[in-house]
């Protein structure tokens, strides 16, 4: 756990960030990447959710997985949705039920067995995150998450959980983003292998490519050059 209190200069902050990163277990990160690839291959949905900075990361990560992998496997798309992004739905459930139900009620409409519910919470104790995980588990979905501190109550609700070993919320959130990016790059590489192998087996001539104008250049090119460049 973090022993840093006051941060008085940038070097102190980054030294603590590096220290925590060195103590972070990589195994659950790899296992979450495996679970997402399995969901992709079986055409299951991935649902992301969290509050505050975690809500922002849910939206960010959904963009990475959905848009960032779009040309990895011949145009076969990753099925992902951030439950944080529909403001009308969030506020309706918060107003008519309670804020603790804003993610759980959305999942009740759509979650199915073998889908993936991906929770993000700095503390691991957010009521609406825990309720959503409960609904997902009851439906037979795989539950995964990234959190901090000692994992909170969320850890026991997740089939796979990454716990950032710190009690500093900013360090936790920094490494949540790094963890999401690590998972994305692993998923991207695994998805790209399908098309890469296919290209080596069935590469068409330049004449063949010119005769197929309906195919976009992005799908026809080697996918390794298509890592997303959005901000």
**Which pLDDT tens digit goes with each residue over 78-123?**
999 999 999 999 999 999 999 999 999 999 999 999 999 999 999 9
What is the 3-class SS of the chain, one letter each residue?
Answer: CCCCCCCCCHHHHHHHHHHHHHHCCCHHHHHHHHHHHHHHHCCCCEEEECCCHHHHHHHHHHHHHHCCCCCCCCCCCCCEEECCCCHHHHHHHHHHCCHHHCCHHHHHHHCCCCCEEEEECCCCCCHHHHHHHHHHHHCCCEEEEEECCCCCCHHHHCCEEEECCCCCHHHHHHHHHHHHHHHHHHHHHHHHHHHHHHHHHHCCCHHHHHCCCCCCHHHHCCHHHCCCCCC
Averaged pLDDT, 36-56? 97
Give pLDDT tens digits for 164-203: 999 999 999 999 999 999 999 999 999 988 655 433 333 3
pLDDT the model gives residue 6:
85
Q: Is the pLDDT of residue 204 over 60?
A: no
Give pLDDT tens digits for 124-161: 999 999 999 999 999 999 999 999 999 999 999 999 99
Q: Is the pLDDT of residue 231 over 80?
A: no
| pTM score, whole prediction | 0.84
């Amino acid at each position: 756990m973090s022993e840093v209190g006051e941060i008085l200069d940038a070097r102190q902050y980054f030294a603590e960030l590096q220290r925590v990163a060195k103590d972070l277990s990589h195994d659950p990160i790899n296992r979450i990447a495996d679970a997402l690839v399995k969901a992709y291959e079986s055409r299951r949905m991935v649902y992301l959710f969290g509050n505050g900075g975690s809500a922002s990361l849910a939206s960010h990560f959904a963009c990475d997985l959905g848009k960032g992998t779009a040309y990895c496997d011949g145009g076969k798309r990753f099925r992902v949705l951030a439950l944080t992004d529909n403001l009308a739905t969030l506020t309706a459930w918060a107003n008519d039920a309670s804020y603790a139900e804003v993610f759980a009620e959305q999942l009740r409409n759509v979650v199915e067995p073998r889908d993936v519910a991906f929770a993000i919470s700095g503390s691991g104790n957010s009521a609406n995150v825990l309720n959503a995980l409960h609904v997902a588990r009851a439906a037979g979905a795989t539950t995964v998450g990234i959190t901090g501190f000692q994992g909170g109550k969320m850890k026991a609700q997740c089939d796979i959980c990454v716990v950032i070993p710190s009690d500093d919320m900013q360090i936790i959130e920094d490494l949540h983003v790094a963890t999401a990016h690590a998972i994305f790059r692993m998923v991207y590489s695994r998805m790209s292998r399908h098309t890469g192998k296919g290209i080596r087996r069935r590469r068409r001539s330049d004449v063949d490519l010119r005769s197929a104008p309906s195919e976009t250049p992005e799908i026809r090119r080697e996918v390794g050059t298509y890592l997303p460049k959005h901000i």
